[in-house]
């Protein structure tokens, strides 16, 4: 196998009470990448479509994670990378994570899988850090493992695969506004009330229990964020209107995807997910802000091969 | 059935990363109580052995919870309560909780179970509040439900039963010193660093996942308390020495039981639990402080009937 075409999925990180540690993988949104072995050693980005991103491997998220793996393994070949980007950078659904995992996943397949999924995540962290200026894995892990993942710690890297109930659907709106990650970080408090923290870990523990037991009612009761949402939601126009409308339409929970501006909901069943889509549309179509909405199952498989060639 | 004899178990609340929400039930330590129907209406505490506690129902934890249930149900009889107290008040292993649940559990059985376990917990909260000056259920819930319980919220009362891995044993030391609950509360910070809170909920979510998957290695990695232990451990002499010794002896984790002074460990297997007992003994026998140590399985059943009479 000399060439591989992959689908690298979008992901939602934070997930309300799971700030900084929980994420899940989307099914219907993602980038396509082609990775090709070359005789010439090194990492070469040869094509980028969709968005304007740097071709220099050292300046490109996919290139940096590829180089991290390449330098560790020192294979007797090089790699060309083509990126067909569908996930808009800065949308809050793991655009840089999709690029970062795509290159290392593809190379790993072409080389006969020398690395496991946790190791691939570790290489991807290097690429992700180029985009977000800090090492975190809460979008990377669900892209690589699929389903829900809990990043227990980054140093050492410890990723837990949490069960995904079958009937869970995501509806996610991406308002076409820009939120700088630096601003989304700067707005957070350094200290928080102990009582709020207790509420948050009660909800988070309950959410993990609910995912294990497919208890949708408990998911609904647990998907609250007492700590981050009050700050970051201020950066997203009409956030509270969207939240009120989607909960009324039956969503189990609603929160900021990553650091925004995308807003995700989790829903039981596709019918509710589509009702939630309509509710989101109704709110945002009045605002004059452009937006996309996606309805997706939770992708249990994660990043996957679409095609391969010798 | 007119008379019932029950075993009301000791419990451990907080459980490291599960501060204020997680608890589990002990098997080998607990009070015995006898509850008897009487023609004369009202709640009467007729015998207390073991420790010096008030006989007036309104001033006794078991009496207050009994009165809460009695006033709600208004049965056509009264109840006598005998308390054979083995759990020392103030030891940090749910002494008041055992009294509070014992009376309502016994009355409920004698009346043909008009209430479910969550409702019994709600009545018990009234008794527990007499002792601890605030309404919480993290010792009550494991005493009533058995195993591990997560009190998601008190208002409304929401209790989750978390699976208990079979091979989990508790070793717990009770140093015979007094810590005032008010002091243990006053020492806590009102605000905590967001980063510590994130670590705590990552650990707590991981612990819930570990209990669901019987993953002892993950329990070991998750049983850490970044927030409360640094404060409260100062109130327990030789806490750090005990912790170092028990972890060396193979304990999965070690923490303050309730607000102390008892120190609990969770262990895989009885052999390790007994090694941990030896390690605790070795540290504390040099200190001149009197102590008890118990080794116990996790009690999956909770409070139970020992005997009943017509």
B153-204 residue pLDDT tens? 999 999 999 999 999 999 999 999 988 777 888 899 999 999 999 999 999 9
Q: What is the pLDDT of residue A28?
A: 85
A177 contact B CB<8A = no
| Closest CA of chain A from B270, distance in Å | 27
Q: Are A33 and A62 in contact (CB under 8 A)?
A: yes
Q: What is the mean pLDDT of residues A96-114?
A: 97
Per-residue pLDDT, A1:
84
3-state SS assignment for residue B118: helix
To the nearest whole percent, how much of chain A has pLDDT over 90? Answer: 93
Q: How confident is the model at residue B121 (pLDDT cuts 50, 70, 90)?
A: very high
Which of B208, B213, B232 to mutate: most A Cβ within 10 Å?
Answer: B208
pLDDT at B286: 93
- The model's pLDDT over B241-270, given as tens digits with 9 standing for 90+, comes to 999 999 999 999 999 999 999 999 999 999
Mean pLDDT in residue range B232-237: 95
Give mean pLDDT, residues B67-88.
97
* pLDDT at B132 exceeding the cut of 90: no
DSSP string across B244-280: HHHHHTT-SEEEE-TTSS-EEEEEESHHHHHHHHHHH
pLDDT at A286 over 80: yes
High-pLDDT (> 90) share of chain B, %: 93
Is the CB of residue B217 less than 8 Å away from at least one CB of chain A?
A: no
Report the candidate in B220, B243, B270 with the shortest Cα–Cα distance to residue B17.
B220
Mean pLDDT of chain A: 96
Report which of B123, B239, B122 is spatially closest to residue B184, judged by C-alpha positions: B239
Is residue A222 a contact partner of residue A207, using CB atoms and an 8 Å limit? yes
Q: What is the pLDDT of residue A222?
A: 98
pLDDT of residue A226: 87
Residue B21 is nearest to which of A152, A153, A205, comparing CB atoms? A205
pLDDT of A216 > 80? The answer is yes
Catalytic residues of A: 128, 181
Give me the half-sphere count of Cα atoms (radius 13 Å) on the Cβ side of residue B97.
Answer: 32
Closest residue in A to B153 (Cα) is A202
For residue A190, the distance in angstroms to the closest alpha carbon of chain B comes to 6
Of B21, B193, B198, the CB nearest to A19: B198
Q: Report the range of poorest mean pLDDT among A174-183, B146-155, B199-208, B220-229.
A: A174-183
User: Does A191 sit within 8 Å of B192, measured CB to CB?
Assistant: yes
CA nearest to A297, candidates A264, A259, A263, A270:
A270
Q: What is the DSSP string of A239-277?
A: HHHHHHHHHHTT-SEEEESTTSS-EEEEEESHHHHHHHH
Mapped onto helix, strand or coil, the DSSP state of residue B199 is helix
pLDDT tens sequence across A158-193: 999 999 999 999 999 999 998 877 788 889 999 999
Average pLDDT of the residues of chain B:
96
Domains in chain A, start-ordered, CATH in brackets? 3-162 (3.30.230.10), 168-297 (3.30.70.890)
Which DSSP letter does residue B152 get? E
């Amino acid at each position: 196998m000399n060439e591989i075409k992959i689908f690298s999925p979008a992901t939602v990180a934070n997930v309300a009470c799971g700030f900084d540690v929980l994420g899940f993988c989307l099914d219907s949104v993602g980038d396509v990448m082609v990775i090709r072995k070359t005789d010439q050693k090194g990492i070469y980005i040869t094509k980028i479509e969709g968005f304007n991103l740097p071709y220099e491997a050292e300046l490109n998220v996919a290139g940096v994670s590829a180089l991290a793996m390449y330098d560790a393994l020192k294979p007797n070949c090089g790699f060309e990378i083509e990126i067909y980007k569908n996930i808009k950078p800065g949308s809050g659904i793991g655009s840089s994570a999709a690029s970062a995992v795509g290159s290392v996943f593809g190379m790993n397949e072409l080389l006969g899988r020398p690395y496991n999924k946790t190791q691939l995540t570790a290489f991807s962290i290097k690429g992700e850090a180029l985009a977000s200026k800090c090492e975190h894995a809460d979008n990377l892990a669900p892209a690589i493992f699929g389903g829900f993942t809990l990043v227990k710690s980054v140093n050492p890297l410890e990723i837990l695969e949490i069960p995904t109930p079958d009937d869970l659907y995501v509806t996610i709106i991406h308002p076409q506004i820009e939120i700088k990650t630096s601003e989304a970080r700067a707005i957070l408090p350094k200290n928080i009330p102990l009582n709020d923290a207790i509420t948050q870990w009660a909800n988070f523990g309950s959410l993990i229990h609910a995912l294990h037991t497919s208890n949708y009612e408990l998911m609904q009761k647990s998907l609250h964020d007492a700590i981050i949402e009050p700050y970051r939601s201020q950066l997203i126009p009409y956030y509270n209107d969207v939240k009120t409308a989607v909960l009324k339409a039956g969503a189990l929970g609603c929160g900021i995807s990553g650091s925004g501006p995308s807003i995700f909901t989790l829903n039981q069943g596709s019918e509710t997910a589509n009702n939630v889509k309509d509710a989101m549309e109704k709110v945002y179509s009045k605002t004059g802000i452009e937006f996309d909405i996606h309805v997706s199952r939770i992708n249990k498989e994660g990043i996957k091969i679409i095609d391969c060639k010798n």
